[in-house]
Amino acid sequence: MMIRKILTGAICLFAGISAATAEERQLTADQAKALEIYKTIIAFKSTEHHGETPAMAAYLAGELKSAGFAEDDIEIIPIEKTAALVAHYRGDGSSGQKPILFLAHMDVVEANPADWEYDPFTLREEDGWFLGRGAADNKYGVANLTQSFIRLKKEGFVPSRDLFLIFTGDEETAMATTKHLAYEREDLQAAEFVLNSDAGGGAVTPDGKVLPYYMQSAEKTYATFKITAHNPGGHSSAPKPDNAIYDLAQALLNIQAYKFPVMSNAITRAAMRADGKDMQGALGKALLAFADNPKNKKAIKTIRSNYEYGHLLSTTCVATMLAGGHAENALPQSATATVNCRIFPGVEVEDVRQTLVQIIDNDALEVGLGDDDYVASPASEPRDDVIAAVSKALRVRYPDIEIVPAMSSGGTDGMHFRRAGVPAYGVSAGFGKIGESENAHGLNERVPVDSFFAGLDHWIIIIKELAAPIPEE
């Protein structure tokens, strides 16, 4: 089902668990190197609090230099307390095509060791899984892309166009490194498109049926609003008709009752059609009906009533935090709610703010942005060359797999490159088995061992398909 992948762009799922351990396998030199990189970067505490992302970038830069990349072609870009890494794989220019960017993020969400069953920053293998903070989100992507560039460089591969490896340093927080690379680097803005390891993916059912692979081609914009009610307050023994908490409560009830207008694009309709074909019952029929006619009121009603799919039809806003009052025996002087919105591609953040003002219908309440730097991200039109390359890589593992463009409800670094005019596509090597989660951002984050190794040729195949040398005539 579509829900397996697109709730958050940052989640990567994997499948294929074996009883064999990595040590019991007879690893090739390339596989052993990939595992070495993976273990090493898991050990870096690349969280906002610990601040080891720059050190991780330095390690990766060293690995690329050892493989033959020139010193001048590798940059570590310090920004605030973190850093980004950019590696330039120079092509011969024979294709005349623009560069391709390959994207991953080095940072991870915080992990409290007291909550985990083991040290979250030590890669552990157990019952066919690799476990550790960032194992899935997104250090698998970092390790896989790094080992792919190393392998290609060592074998003497010369691409027909320039390639850029881009590792950001704060995707999970402010995205300052992403914004710098997307908006201030003209060499990167000149790219033809971005391939993102932090989104997209496929899945198989417990009985082995291969479901469509969802290539992320759009994502909702993340924006948080602060809604605040003010009041002179007073003594709680003498209640007044106006009360900051009550005013705020009414505003939140108005937001709860409101449904943003139904929206769709070719990407969301294609994904719904693919899911509808694989689904039984009223929901499957509704998805197919909506894909054929996005104005079908019966289909809209059915889809909107479903938790897993309703949010895909429009922008959504929901209250997530509350604060109010200053003493238990005083009337509140202020009350504030945090309202988080996931905004449909193409809709501007300010337009959503104005809609919230209208929904609340109380001029005394303030509706402000939690951050003044949110950006709306357009959809990326699917490209035949990207689909063909990803299909070739995936069909090594799953010969009959279908590639379907899809939209994420969460956010990734790709949003800023799209905003900068560079189309972005989530095409991770990840596959999931329905019912088995990697638990990204959660406790005991994990990736199946077999799937780690099965995906190591993924980027190699894609790169060679999109940037193979042009034969001499």
- Residue range 309-343, pLDDT digits in tens: 999 999 999 999 999 999 999 999 999 999 999 99
CATH of the domain at 308: 3.30.70.360
Mean pLDDT of the 7-13 span: 37
Please give the model's pTM, rounded to 2 decimal places.
0.88
CATH of the domain at 76: 3.40.630.10
For residue 258, give its domain range. Answer: 221-369
Mean pLDDT of the 76-101 span: 97
Please report whether residue 326 resides in a domain: yes
Considering all CA atoms of the chain, what is the largest pairwise distance in Å, rounded to the nearest integer? Answer: 92
363 and 385 belong to one structural domain: no
Q: Is the pLDDT of residue 231 over 50?
A: yes
Asked whether the CA dihedral 381, 384, 389, 391 is positive or negative, the reply is positive
Please report whether residue 437 resides in a domain: yes
Please report whether residue 473 resides in a domain: no
Tell which wins on pLDDT, 391 or 373. Answer: 391
Q: Is the pLDDT of residue 101 over 80?
A: yes
Confidence label for 435 from pLDDT (cuts 50, 70 and 90): confident
Give the residue from 322, 346, 369 where a domain finishes. Answer: 369
% of the chain beyond a pLDDT of 90: 81
Query: How many separate domains does the chain show?
Result: 2
Tell which wins on pLDDT, 434 or 76. Answer: 76
Q: How far apart are the first and last CA of the chain?
A: 47
**pLDDT value, residue 77:** 98
Confidence label for 5 from pLDDT (cuts 50, 70 and 90): very low
397 and 443 belong to one structural domain: yes
**pLDDT value, residue 7:** 35
Confidence label for 3 from pLDDT (cuts 50, 70 and 90): very low
294 and 401 belong to one structural domain: no
Mean pLDDT of the 365-386 span: 90
422 and 365 belong to one structural domain: no
Please report whether residue 472 resides in a domain: no
**pLDDT value, residue 22:** 53
**pLDDT value, residue 24:** 63
139 and 198 belong to one structural domain: yes
20 and 167 belong to one structural domain: yes
**pLDDT value, residue 473:** 60
**pLDDT value, residue 461:** 98
444 and 311 belong to one structural domain: no
pLDDT digits (tens, 9 = 90+) for 117-175: 899 999 999 999 999 999 999 999 999 999 999 999 999 999 999 999 999 999 999 99
Give the residue from 350, 369, 388 where a domain finishes. Answer: 369
Q: Is the pLDDT of residue 63 over 60?
A: yes
Listed residue (1, 410, 13) closest to 218, CA to CA: 410
Mean pLDDT of the 5-12 span: 37
52 and 201 belong to one structural domain: yes
187 and 228 belong to one structural domain: no
194 and 299 belong to one structural domain: no
Please report whether residue 133 resides in a domain: yes
212 and 291 belong to one structural domain: no
151 and 236 belong to one structural domain: no
